[in-house]
A and B are shown apart, each in its own frame.
Chain A
Amino acid sequence: MKKKYMNPYLAGILLGTVLLLSMYISGRGLGASGGIKYCVVAITGAIDRSHTEDSPYYSKYFENGEKPFRNWLSFEIFGVIAGGFISGVVSKRNRFRIEKSPRITNTKRLFYAFTGGLLFVYGAQLARGCTSGAALSGMAVLSVAGFVTMIAIFGSAYIFAWFFRKNWI
């Protein structure tokens, strides 16, 4: 039998402790979209080296023979996957399934998931951080960028929520 989720406030304190530890040990916040970017950079670099060296965007990640995978952010997201899995094992929540509203089809859910992921990471690259990298970590150091990004994400999501309500409720 799967266990219930942790109390949200307690979970918040747990997450806050992790963030504080990250600040204390490494002097930086948490991040997720950055790690995804490094994976893409590494994959593109492996497939087409000359393309990455010419591109104004990729090239900066290959300067002086740097290895994109050997990076704080990529190792952090490997940890996120491991940590999520451990938690799933502890609370017996590990199983394959598609989570969606019963009113929509699997294909539709997966299509929206793909589009959503594409948009989210695209926006995160533009804003130099996602909900964790910019909003959460940014707020914890009182950075203006953190607050603005947080308000932009949640504010616009509330507006868009009306258009996509059929997908969820």
Chain B
Amino acid sequence: MRKKVSLFLFLCGLLLAILPLTGHRSFKIRPDNLVNQVLDPQVNYSVDEVAKLIVNGDSAIRLIDLRPRNEFIKAGIPGSINVPYEQFISEDPDIYLNDSKIKVILYGNDDFNSNYALVYCRGLGHDNAFVMDGGLNEWTRTIMESRFTGSRISARENALFEIRARASRIFNEINALPDSLRAVRLTASRFSARKLDGGCE
């Protein structure tokens, strides 16, 4: 028995040593499926939709800001969590996405980092990853600088502008605080990654 078990373990060990096994984590889902998923327009959230979610205080979403830390401190969408893109890729994004009931909306300054991250998350099998179309640039343009210029306002437009105005008020409230206070406010909402259970603690 000793020899049999030794032989088995030795062969497995050899296999592990030869193949570059661990640390190895590739996309899980089938490539064609991934293409279909990420080209589906429903992975996009427009900035107006995001503004509505913020104004309504929806707790089933989580906004992740992929910009560098210093930019996030300067101005960020209220309630979002800062995970710089480099960190997001190097770490295991699972910790931010493992609650499949919470939709995670990714955004950066523009459309690049957020969309890389979107494919990255979807590829690793997280169906709850979404992206805010246009990023913070689009947010600033649409929400912060929105002025109604038409002559007659319809009820629908009225509701839209109302939400935009409220979202931008929330945004300005936080971002107008003095630097030190704002840093506290923003870091307070910093997301703490779910700690893994285990050990004898």
Contact = CB atoms under 8 A, between A and B. Distances in A.
Q: Per the CB under 8 Å rule, do A and B touch in the complex?
A: yes
A122 interface: no
Contact of B200 (A10, A13, A27, A73): A73
B201 interface: yes
Contact of B5 (A9, A27, A32): A9
A169 B196 CA distance: 44
Given A9-B2, A10-B1, A129 B196 contact: no
A144 to B, nearest CB: 13
A27 B199 contact: no
A42 interface: no
A29 B1 contact: no
A129 to B, nearest CB: 4
Contacts of A13: 5
B198 interface: yes
B91 interface: no
B40 interface: no
Given A9-B1, A10-B1, A13-B5, A34 B197 contact: no
Nearest to B197: A28
Contacts, number: 42
Contacts of A32: 200
Contact of A124 (B1, B2, B4, B200): B200
A83 interface: no
A37 B200 CA distance: 9
A150 interface: no
A135 to B, nearest CB: 11
A133 B199 CA distance: 6
A10 B1 CA distance: 8
A27 B197 contact: yes
Contacts of A37: 200
A156 interface: no
Interface of A: 7, 9-10, 12-13, 26-29, 31-34, 37, 72-73, 124, 128-130, 133-134, 137
A133 B200 contact: yes
B197 A72 contact: yes
A165 B25 CA distance: 50
Nearest to B22: A142
Given A9-B2, A28-B198, A137-B198, 10 more contacts: A7-B1, A31-B199, A31-B200, A34-B200, A37-B200, A124-B200, A128-B200, A129-B199, A129-B200, A130-B200
Contacts of B201: 34, 128
B1 A33 contact: no
Chain A CB count within 10 A is highest, among B2, B196, B201, for B201
Chain B CB count within 10 A is highest, among A7, A9, A72, for A9
A27 B2 contact: no
Interface in B173-199: 196-199
11 contacts: A7-B1, A10-B1, A27-B198, A28-B198, A31-B199, A32-B200, A33-B200, A37-B200, A72-B197, A128-B199, A134-B200
